[in-house]
Amino acid sequence: MKSIFLIATIIILSISSCSSPENKASENEEKSSQQTKQTVGSSLYKLVETYSNMGYHRTGTSVDAVTNKWFADELKQIGGKVSQQAFKFDKFENSVTVTLDGEVIPSLPLFYEGVGSVETNSPFVSSLNVMSLDRTTNALNNAIQQAIDDKNEIAVIATQNKFGELATPNRFPKLGSGLPVVLVPGKYATKLEEADINVKYDAKIVSAESNNIIAVFGDTSKMKPIVLATPLSGWFNCAAERGTGIAVAIKLASELSKDYPVLVIGAPGHEILHHIGLAHFLNNNKIEASIIIHLGANVAIGVKDEETGSMKLAPGVNDPRSIPETARTVFVRMDTSIFKSLTPVLDKIDLPAVVNPPHWNGEAALWAKSSPAPLMSFTGISPIFHTPSDVPENATNAELLEDVYNAIYKSITIYMNKNKN
């Protein structure tokens, strides 16, 4: 009897431990989804890391040249026919050193504000917020004018922000007031007023060159391509600001080109407000597109919980008149009846849209003006925007990148299916 009971127990346990075919399929699908997510998310994050680790991505520098080659090589590896379009511009070349009580601190000239050579122990000093979104604030302009009125040779400004970082606004590539201005991290504001200071400054305007990277996938003569546009340059390492959009663009090109012709445009020159790379491309090319996807700033920007270290996507907003310091949004030009089919996908990443706006920001404005095609422009902002803290571990992670990529990919495929001829 004992042995019979034991056999029965084993049979019961075996039956209870087995899943039904339906449950097994569901478990396998879930496991496969998790593995795919990990693989895709990890590959996207690796692209962000590679881009960010190249250095400071300013147009016309050696890092810019390395970045352009890397981006071109990535597109070639996934089947793109890649070309480069050179453009020339006036580059702000500089060397600056700021010491406080003999300690060298981080510093950066306010590009194009003033040229020449200056060394002084008595600069104009101030502390203020130098950026509104990515533009120069009135406070900074007023401080520069005060320094000029007070007959100063140079101004040193501590840049106020949440983390006491060095931050800089985008600039026009033309000479400003003529007064040399140096920016230093906000955390030095008090010491800037109290310490012995020495400033050495040298800057000039020189002729320079960079390249737009253009890649074609498939036959664009038979069908208007999906256009994927991403800026390639910025002030610092730009992990979220540039890297997340670049990574998503590469992955989108790889997957969408299996079913549709695709045109990818990577343009340097973002940190100069004329967006000179993209402007040069659009001035010399007529774009016919099924849809334009502009992957602007901080496409997959995350917000880190200071206590747990966990990260989630920055909140979505759709009021361009009131942008908080941390936010993501998407501007959309599209038939509203078609766009409604995209909203459930975008809702999954908390991304409400500004639909058919009267005005567009940044590079999106150039795209909106140059082509009547449907347009989606993804963008965002956070306190690490335009600072050296925009590095991968502070900016995003594999899961966030995967979620954003999936939402954009699904939005495009839904749109293309709705517009089949």
Cβ proximity of 345 and 410 under 8 Å: yes
For 386-415, write each residue's pLDDT tens digit. 999 999 999 999 999 999 999 999 999 999
- The candidate with the shortest Cα–Cα distance to 110, out of 164, 196, 175, 160, is 175
The answer to whether residues 167 and 135 touch, using CB atoms and an 8 Å cutoff, is: no
pLDDT on residue 420:
75
The Cβ of residue 196 has, within 10 Å, a number of other Cβ atoms equal to 9
**pLDDT above 90: percentage of residues in the chain:** 81
Supply the pLDDT for residue 274.
79
Question: What's the sign of the alpha-carbon dihedral 36, 39, 42, 47?
Answer: negative
Give the tens place of pLDDT for each residue, 254-297.
Answer: 999 999 999 999 999 988 877 999 999 999 999 999 999 999 99
Averaged pLDDT, 79-101? 97
Least confident range from 34-48, 66-80, 182-196, 220-234: namely: 34-48
Q: How far apart are CA 352 and CA 367, in angstroms?
A: 21
Query: Mean pLDDT score of the chain, rounded to an integer?
Result: 90
With a CB cutoff of 8 Å and minimum separation 6, the contacts of 214 are 82, 83, 84, 85, 263, 264, 265, 266, 281
Q: pLDDT for 340-371, tens place per residue? A: 999 999 999 999 999 999 989 889 999 999 99
Phi/psi for 124 (5° steps) reads -70, 135
Q: What spatial distance separates the first Cα and last Cα of the chain, rounded to whole Å?
A: 75
